């Protein structure tokens, strides 16, 4: 969580609102698939003062099952960042990250270099895993994390969470 907060703060300092918002949203909503996060359009967001919804219209699982997936947004920081980013866009059909996926990866690498933590080898998918691991550390029940992370299998979720906890132990 401290790394995510530092990256968001630095992005805001550099006036990179879209990057800050996507980092915050990916962590909080556990957008585990990089493609889902980077394809997210503003029209998929319904924002209120205390809660919002992020609809994933073309998620891999949703396409497979023929259903639309959604994740609630309850984090005040995310709820504050998204409207600021929305003001900058031309229309609601625009993607939250209007650049290439490679440019997002490069930007994340640049932030890791800035904070001198490149050795952590953070990738965009690390944000969702980190969000899930953080929830587990906060005592959120595993079944709640499974639903929030949209995992169909407890076995897959355990792999991600054990990997995240293992990395915390080795870096901590």
Q: Which pLDDT does position 62 carry in this prediction?
A: 47
Nearest 5°: the CA angle 42, 45, 51 is 145
What are the distances in angstroms from CA 120 to CA 6, 95, 164?
15, 28, 11
The gap between the terminal CA atoms of the chain, to the nearest Å, is 13
Q: Which residues contact 10 (CB under 8 A, 6 or more apart)?
A: 111, 114, 115
pLDDT band at 114 (very low <50, low <70, confident <90, very high): very high
Question: How confident is the model over 132-158, as a mean pLDDT?
Answer: 81
Q: What percent of the chain has pLDDT over 90?
A: 38
Specify the pTM. Answer: 0.83
Which domains can be identified in the chain, with CATH numbers?
Answer: 2-171 (1.10.443.10)
Q: What are phi and psi of 69, to 5 degrees?
A: -100, 150
For the chain, the average pLDDT equals 84
For 133, residues 6+ apart whose C-beta sits below 8 A from its C-beta are 160, 161, 164, 165, 168
pLDDT band at 29 (very low <50, low <70, confident <90, very high): confident
Digit-coded pLDDT (tens) for 50-83: 999 999 876 555 445 556 789 999 999 999 999 8
d(CA 16, CA 147): 31
């Amino acid at each position: 969580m401290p790394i995510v907060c530092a990256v968001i703060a630095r992005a805001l300092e550099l006036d990179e609102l879209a990057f800050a918002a996507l980092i915050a949203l990916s962590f909080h909503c556990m957008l585990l698939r990089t493609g889902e996060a980077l394809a997210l359009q503003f029209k998929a967001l319904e924002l209120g003062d205390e809660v919002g919804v992020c609809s994933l219209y073309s998620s891999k699982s949703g396409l497979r099952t023929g259903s639309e997936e959604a994740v609630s947004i309850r984090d005040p920081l995310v709820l504050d960042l998204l409207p600021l980013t929305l003001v900058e866009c031309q229309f609601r059909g625009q993607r939250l990250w209007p650049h290439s996926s490679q440019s997002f990866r490069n930007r994340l690498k640049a932030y890791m270099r800035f904070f001198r933590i490149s050795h952590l080898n953070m990738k965009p998918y690390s944000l969702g895993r980190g969000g899930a691991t953080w929830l587990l550390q906060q005592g959120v029940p595993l079944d709640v994390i499974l639903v929030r992370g949209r995992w169909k299998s407890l076995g897959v979720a355990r792999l991600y969470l054990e990997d995240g906890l293992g990395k915390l132990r080795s870096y901590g």
